[in-house]
């Protein structure tokens, strides 16, 4: 048995995207295919804005001129403000996602697709905008703030992967599941 037979065997295996609440695997149905299609370009945009863009900004940080802080207290206050903005962005995205998930039982497939697309796109845009806080802090903090600026950039992909809507949460659950009841 060569290595090519393992590839063909792997490709013929069913897709097993587990539902974390029930432990049931998500089957490939027309509903899940429609949800995957609806999520494809917003998630790709999210990966670009929240993973590739912060990596590019990390590289760019080595070429940006650092500012000289005039007041260490002002730099510390700016750091606290930017940290608060990042926490507020995560809390707002989580709140929106929870609110959208509460409305899922009363929605049909087209509304679910639109909701999944909207929430994924919103998470991508909000967290992508948060990646600009790293260079902002880097320019204002001087030489001592480089690791904090890089921490702001490192938080963006983590927040996107944690708070972006998951496909298994938007798919219809098994019969009797709370997401199936109208």
Q: What is the pLDDT of residues 124-139, one digit of tens each?
A: 999 999 999 999 998 8
pLDDT averaged over consecutive 10-residue blocks of the chain (182 residues)?
Answer: 50 44 60 87 92 93 76 88 96 94 87 90 94 90 84 94 87 58 42
pLDDT of residue 73: 87
Output the pTM of the full model: 0.76
Q: What angle do CA 157, 162, 167 make, to 5 degrees?
A: 110
106: tokens are: 């009363």
Residue 142: which of 78, 89, 66, 64 has the closest Cα? 66
Residue 155: which of 107, 89, 63 has the closest Cα? 89
pLDDT of residue 171: 75
pLDDT of residue 46: 92
């Amino acid at each position: 048995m060569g290595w090519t037979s393992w590839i063909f065997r792997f490709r013929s295996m069913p897709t097993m995207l587990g539902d974390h609440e029930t432990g049931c695997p998500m089957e490939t149905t027309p509903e899940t295919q429609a949800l995957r299609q609806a999520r494809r370009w917003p998630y790709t945009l999210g990966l670009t804005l929240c993973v590739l863009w912060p990596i590019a900004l990390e590289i760019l940080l080595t070429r940006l001129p650092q500012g000289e802080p005039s007041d260490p207290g002002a730099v510390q206050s700016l750091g606290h403000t930017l940290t608060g903005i990042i926490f507020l962005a995560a809390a707002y995205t989580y709140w929106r996602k929870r609110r959208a998930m509460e409305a899922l039982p009363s929605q049909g497939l087209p509304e679910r697709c639109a909701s999944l697309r909207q929430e994924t796109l919103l998470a991508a845009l909000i967290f992508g905008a948060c990646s600009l806080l790293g260079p902002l802090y880097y320019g204002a903090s001087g030489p001592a703030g480089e690791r904090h600026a890089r921490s702001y950039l490192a938080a963006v992909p983590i927040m996107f992967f944690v708070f972006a809507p998951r496909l298994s949460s938007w798919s219809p659950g098994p019969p009797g599941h709370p997401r199936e009841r109208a």
